[in-house]
């Protein structure tokens, strides 16, 4: 997580652009796929287990014939968001881009899983508001900071505590936890039980 990126500057808003409608729409793709399209948005601290859970859930859904795609925070920062650092403005732009990509994938009829710290509740709400009701499912992986630090798979907490990594969520940057997530997971519990809960809620309330 390099801190030497240049923050994104506001650019002039493009003009003379018109949304181009497609012959095929989301409803047709959903009918072909046999399930609704939506975004399952995992949020939580670094090391909370959200990426692992998102990956395991995608496998479980895929094995059930659900058309899926997983967007991971680090992966997108290798390409689409490689020009962004970790300032507040860059983090907001990072999440905005992810939201726009997610919307396109929903339009393609997919179940999109995302794994992002996404610390700002306002930015998460903006993505929810940009979609139709029921298309955005917020999954809060609530893992105590001490457990996240003990895991520290990338050594980021150690660097943050040593002052080598600034603006790190949970240490010197705020994480705004969801107050009313669509699905709440206790990140200290075994992954198997969390996946069972996810599948149960999705089956009964959203997907099947």
Cross-sheet strand order for the sheet of 111-115: 68-72, 111-115, 38-43, 136-142, 183-186
Residues making up the annotated binding site for ATP are 44-51
In this structure, what DSSP letter does residue 203 have?
A: I
Annotate 5-32 with DSSP letters as a single string. Answer: PPPPPP-PPP-S------SS-HHHHHHH
Q: Count CB atoms within 10 A of the CB of residue 144.
A: 13
Residues making up the annotated binding site are 44-51
Cβ contact 136:38 at 8 Å = yes
Q: By three-state DSSP, how is residue 156 classified?
A: helix
* Residues labelled catalytic: 118
């Amino acid at each position: 997580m390099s801190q030497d990126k240049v923050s994104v500057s506001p650019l002039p808003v493009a003009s003379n652009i018109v949304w181009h409608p497609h012959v095929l729409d989301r409803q047709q793709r959903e009918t072909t796929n046999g399930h609704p399209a939506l975004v399952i948005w995992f949020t939580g601290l670094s090391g909370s287990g959200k990426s692992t859970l998102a990956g395991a859930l995608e496998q479980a859904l895929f094995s059930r014939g659900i058309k899926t795609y997983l967007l991971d925070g680090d992966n997108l920062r290798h390409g689409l968001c490689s020009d962004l650092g970790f300032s507040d403005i860059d983090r907001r732009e990072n999440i905005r881009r992810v939201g726009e990509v997610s919307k396109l994938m929903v339009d393609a009829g997919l179940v999109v899983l995302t794994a992002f710290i996404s610390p700002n509740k306002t930015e998460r709400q903006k993505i929810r508001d940009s979609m139709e009701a029921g298309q955005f499912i917020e999954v809060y992986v609530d893992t105590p900071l001490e457990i996240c630090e003990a895991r520290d798979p990338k050594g980021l907490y150690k660097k943050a505590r040593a002052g080598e990594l600034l603006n790190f969520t949970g240490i010197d940057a705020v994480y705004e936890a969801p107050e009313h997530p669509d699905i709440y997971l206790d990140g200290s519990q075994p992954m198997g039980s969390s996946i069972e809960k996810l599948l149960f809620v999705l089956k009964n309330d959203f997907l099947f």
